[in-house]
């Protein structure tokens, strides 16, 4: 037999446990190279630069599917 609580937990107690889990808006910063929006501390998906260095070689979109 499992132990049961002696009294009902009030709604304010229950809701205060969930107070930290509210959704927050995504913070975006601008890339110093191409001035597009990007996530902070991430490589820019448009130009491929991070902290003034090119990390990813981003070129024109190429079709990798072979047509038969």
The model scores a pTM over 0.75? no
- Contact between residue 49 and residue 38 where contact means Cβ atoms under 8 Å apart: no
pLDDT at 1: 78
Cβ neighbours of residue 54 closer than 8 Å, sequence gap 6 or more: 47, 48
Nearest Cα to Cα of residue 50 among 41, 62, 59, 58: 41
Convert the pLDDT of each residue in 11-33 to its tens digit: 999 889 888 888 989 999 999 99
pLDDT band at 39 (very low <50, low <70, confident <90, very high): very high
Report the distance separating Cα 59 and Cα 56, nearest Å.
Answer: 9
Which residue would you say has higher pLDDT here, 62 or 26?
Answer: 26
């Amino acid at each position: 037999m499992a132990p049961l609580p002696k009294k009902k937990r009030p709604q304010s107690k229950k809701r205060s446990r969930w107070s930290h889990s509210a959704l927050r808006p995504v913070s975006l910063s601008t890339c110093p190279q191409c001035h597009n929006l990007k996530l902070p501390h991430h490589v820019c998906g448009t130009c491929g630069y991070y902290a003034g260095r090119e990390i990813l070689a981003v070129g024109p979109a190429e079709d990798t599917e072979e047509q038969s």
